[in-house]
Amino acid sequence: MAIEREGGCACGRVHYRLASPPMFVHCCHCLSCQRETGSAFVLNALIETDRIEWLGRAPAPLSVPTDSGQSHRIFRCEDCQIAVWSEYGGVAKLRFVRVGTLDDPHAMRPDVHIYTRSKVPWVSLPEGVPAFEASYDSKKLWPAESLLRRRAILS
């Protein structure tokens, strides 16, 4: 199990392990995520910062401009510059880990698709996974245990 939740950058200096499954996994189709990844969407595993164990060097944060004005810092390996996670709104206890940096990137599937209004037309969404034009109400969608975990870090 644990090996499924290890990941890191391309050069291997940033290496991490998630101590538990994430609270929730977002597939975000917004234009900012498309630009920041150079791809069609991003897969983010939302997890408490203190559940990320260091097995290598820590990545360094870099602030990026946002449309909303809300802060967004992307954490990158200082050597190979691969982005491993993001911090939104200055919430230091919560990380958005890029699922594609896991050693087994297929280990986590999206729990929700968001900002589908800007989804590229050639991506079709699977049946049975909730999808929203923009953001969504996590209180209606997240498992109770995940909501408790989030409350514990945001209170």
Residues that bind Zn ion (CB under 5 A): 9, 11, 13, 28, 30, 33, 77, 79-80
Nearer to Zn ion, 92 or 134 (CB): 134
d(CA 50, CA 80): 24
Q: Position of tokens 């087994």?
A: 104
∠ Cα 16 94 152 (to 5°): 120
Coil, strand or helix at 77: coil
Shortest distance, position 137 Cβ to Zn ion, whole Å: 17
Shortest distance, position 155 Cβ to Zn ion, whole Å: 26
Shortest distance, position 18 Cβ to Zn ion, whole Å: 18
Burial 97-116 (b: 16+ CB within 10 A, else e): bbbbbbeeeebbebbbbbbb
Shortest distance, position 127 Cβ to Zn ion, whole Å: 22
d(CA 149, CA 155): 10
Nearer to Zn ion, 68 or 124 (CB): 68
